[in-house]
């Protein structure tokens, strides 16, 4: 990182040229700003949490409380920004390659599948008849570029439609003709905001599971609030920047997975989804959570790792009396901070009891107890 004072306003501001992972980022801030102020400005530009940033000038680590003018950072000064591994928000530090390339949120299909030249939409008649008989349309990993027309002819017979891991782009309005559909798996395709018909999806009043993970979505429309039978909503690994207030209308929702997106906030209406048992918001850009999360008394697992979180709802431990799994690794929140929240003792007892049961039955545990967040010593 190289810094230089502005020529026009030499006494009041400084522009710092931040060099990080092959990129140069100009950052302007007051002359009396501290190193901590600079780190705060760097977080949204690099995705590296402030506590994961180390700034080095002339072989010395710059302390957070030091002012830039006292370093001093002048023309010709060289300062390095070093990121600690794992201490980032979103899907990782923004590098030169990440900034210059268009990264697909879907990495499941291999190269051979992506090069399929012909759409496989012709389905044998015997298979179509079997779909009607069983109610299950299983077309995962079939190299499809479009929904087979035979699917629509099955109409009310279909209970499960699995077209995951294909090359499908369009989800047409006629999907709404599958009136009794319970489970719709559309994950790992080429679906965009423009190519999916939420008008059609809104007609699926019996839908309990919807998976749209690993696609190209940037938003979730208000129409999702009409799917009031939903128990599971999977929209991970997209580029979604916000969730609608209508999400709060899903009062039967038990599992919400929105990890690896670009959320900077959550709607307060999330507190109306009182059936929620598991929420995964990891690898986003969240700095806080609405206090209404404390309304989720059935919540058992809250995954928040790799966000910019600095605080939690004050009633989280006290009101969410079923909570036993909390992952805050890679955030600004440390174990010492957690221990100061009201209700922490009861939460700690629940999670230790869960861990012991896993050990007793040898299920889902490595034997090492996870405190749920990073220790303060990890900052040093």
Any idea which architecture 2-100 has in CATH? Answer: Roll (3.10)
Tens-place pLDDT, residues 73-132: 765 567 778 887 777 777 777 766 555 444 444 444 444 344 444 444 444 567 888 899
Contact 232, 254 (CB under 8 A): yes
Tens-place pLDDT, residues 41-70: 888 888 888 888 888 777 778 888 888 778
Q: Is the dihedral of CA 280, 370, 312, 38 positive or negative?
A: negative
Torsion angles phi and psi, residue 324, rounded to 5: -135, -10
Any idea which architecture 261-380 has in CATH? Answer: Alpha-Beta Horseshoe (3.80)
pLDDT score at 30: 82
- Render 265-317 in DSSP notation, one character per residue: ---GGGGG-TT--EEE--SS--S---GGGGG-TT--EEE--SS------TTHH
Torsion angles phi and psi, residue 246, rounded to 5: -65, -10
Pairing verdict, β 13-20 and 23-30? antiparallel
pLDDT score at 377: 53
Confirm whether 2-100 and 261-380 share one CATH topology.
Answer: no
Question: What are the domain boundaries of the chain?
Answer: 2-100, 261-380
CA angle 148, 152, 156 (to 5 degrees): 145
Decide: pTM greater than 0.85: no
Does residue 72 have a cis peptide bond before it, meaning omega lies within 30 degrees of 0?
A: yes
pLDDT score at 96: 63
pLDDT score at 123: 47
Residues in the chain where the model's pLDDT stays below 70? 1-12, 74-77, 95-125, 360-370, 376-380
Q: Strand pairing partners for 19?
A: 24
Torsion angles phi and psi, residue 377, rounded to 5: -65, -20
pLDDT score at 340: 92
pLDDT score at 219: 96
pLDDT score at 272: 98
């Amino acid at each position: 990182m190289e810094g230089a004072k502005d020529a026009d306003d030499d006494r009041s501001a400084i522009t710092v040229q931040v060099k990080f992972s092959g990129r140069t980022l100009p950052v302007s801030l007051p002359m009396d700003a501290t190193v901590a102020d600079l780190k705060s400005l760097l977080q949204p530009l690099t995705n590296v949490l402030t506590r994961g940033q180390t700034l080095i000038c002339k072989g010395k680590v710059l302390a957070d409380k030091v002012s830039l003018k006292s370093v001093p950072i002048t023309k010709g000064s060289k300062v390095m920004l070093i990121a600690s591994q794992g201490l980032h928000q979103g899907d990782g530090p923004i590098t030169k390659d990440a900034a210059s390339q268009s990264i697909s949120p879907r990495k499941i299909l291999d190269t051979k599948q992506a090069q399929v030249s012909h759409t496989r939409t012709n389905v044998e008649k015997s298979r179509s008849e079997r779909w009607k008989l069983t109610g299950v349309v299983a077309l995962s990993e079939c190299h499809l570029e479009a929904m087979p027309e035979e699917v629509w002819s099955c109409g009310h017979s279909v209970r499960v439609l699995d077209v995951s891991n294909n090359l499908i782009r369009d989800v047409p309005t006629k999907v709404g003709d599958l009136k009794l559909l319970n489970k719709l798996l559309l994950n790992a395709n080429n679906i965009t905001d423009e190519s999916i018909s939420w008008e059609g999806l809104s007609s699926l009043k019996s839908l309990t599971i919807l998976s749209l993970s690993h696609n190209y979505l940037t938003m979730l429309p208000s129409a999702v609030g009409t799917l009031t039978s939903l128990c599971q909503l999977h929209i991970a690994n997209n580029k979604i920047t916000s969730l609608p207030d209508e999400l709060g209308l899903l009062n039967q929702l038990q599992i919400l997975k929105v990890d690896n997106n670009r959320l900077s906030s959550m709607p307060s209406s999330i507190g109306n989804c009182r059936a929620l048992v598991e929420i995964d918001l990891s690898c986003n850009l969240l700095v806080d959570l609405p206090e209404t999360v404390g309304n989720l008394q059935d919540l058992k697992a809250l995954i928040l790792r790799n966000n910019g979180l600095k605080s939690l709802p004050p009633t989280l431990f006290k009101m969410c009396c079923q909570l036993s799994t909390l992952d805050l690794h890679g955030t600004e929140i440390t174990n010492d901070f957690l221990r100061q929240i009201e209700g922490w003792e009861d939460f700690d007892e629940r999670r230790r009891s869960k861990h012991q049961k896993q050990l007793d039955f040898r299920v889902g545990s490595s034997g090492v107890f996870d405190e749920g967040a990073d220790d303060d010593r990890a900052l040093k």
